[in-house]
Amino acid sequence: MNGKIENNFKQTAATLAEALPYIQRYEDSTIVIKLGGHAMTSKPSMENFARDIVLIKQCGVNPVIVHGGGPMINKVLSDLKIESEFAEGKRITDGKTMEIVEMVLSGNVNKSIVNAINSQGGKGVGLSGKDANMIECEQDNPKLGFVGKIKKVDTDIVQNFIKSDFIPVIAPIGFGIKGETYNINGDTAAGAIASSLLADRLLLLTDVVGVKDSDDQLINQLNIEEARNLIGSGIINSGMIPKVNTSIKAIEEGVRASVIIDGRVDHACLLELFTSHGVGTLFKKTFD
């Protein structure tokens, strides 16, 4: 055998051996993963993500995927010559726009993720928050139209799939008590689902390295008090604030830890779960 090839195989074997205690640590745990950003932007990226998710499931861990799809919604609206308006950083969603949002998220985007998982040997199953009355919403702000504020989450259907060999893939669409359909922020939906499941980990995939300090350096871990102080001081700002607040809320409601992960890194979820090398900022209530 060629020496270089033999060394590559040995390195692979060593990596697998080193991963064993982490695999044992997460066995039968539930991990909620918010998929967004780079991992959704190309077929190779999606294939890599799907392969990693199937491997995680094969290792005895229970992944639950919640996805966004803002760029895909923007494209369809643009193709239909429907202009998007935003307020408070959220899309103003009238009835016509809501129909398109649901079509894109629950249809094209959701099924593409399910197909990617299935093509890697997994058993992906597509859901939205309307299925089995999973996510009940009320109107967040009348100015925003059909943008939902989560009132209640019932994850019985998700737990039934987890107990089997299926990998739930959930679109962030909710329902109202009068039959309305609501668009929900993907991070918010992922956090609420993770809390309902009392997940061991909430992983928020994004297109930044994580939370940075005042010197623009990555902060590897933060407890809740530290995170709130950084928001108060303005070091955590802009689009990072909702993600950090989602992490804080999830932890306060029973999730053991949350991680804002750089989804541009190959095998980011595997690195975070099965190695000592994290790829983002880890949030916990306290650190020993």
Per-residue pLDDT of 207-220, as tens digits, reads 889 999 999 999 99
Answering whether pTM is above 0.85, one says yes
pLDDT-flagged residues of the chain (< 50): none
| pLDDT at 14 (0 to 100) | 80
Which tokens hold the place of 218? 């990555």
Matching residue, tokens 């190779």: 44
What pLDDT was estimated at residue 172? Answer: 98
Six-digit token pair at 213? 């300090």
User: Which residues partner with 147 through β-bridges?
Assistant: 183
- What is the DSSP track for 202-241? EEEEESS-S-B-TTS-B--EEEHHHHHHHHHHTSS-TTHH
Report the CATH superfamily, name and number, of domain 27-284.
Answer: Acetylglutamate kinase-like (3.40.1160.10)
Q: What is the pLDDT of residue 8?
A: 75
Segments making up each domain of the chain, as ranges: 27-284
**Per-residue confidence (pLDDT) for residue 18, from 0 to 100:** 85
Report yes or no: 199 and 30 within 8 Å, Cβ to Cβ.
yes
Q: How far is CA 228 from CA 66, 114, 244, in A?
A: 25, 36, 9
CA dihedral 30, 35, 38, 44 (to 10 degrees): 70
Q: Are 73 and 39 in contact (CB under 8 A)?
A: no
Beta-carbon contacts of 155 under 8 Å, excluding residues fewer than 6 positions away, are 134, 193, 196, 197
**Which of 258, 213, 217 lies closest to 237 in space, CA to CA?**
213
CB 190 within 8 A of CB 204: yes
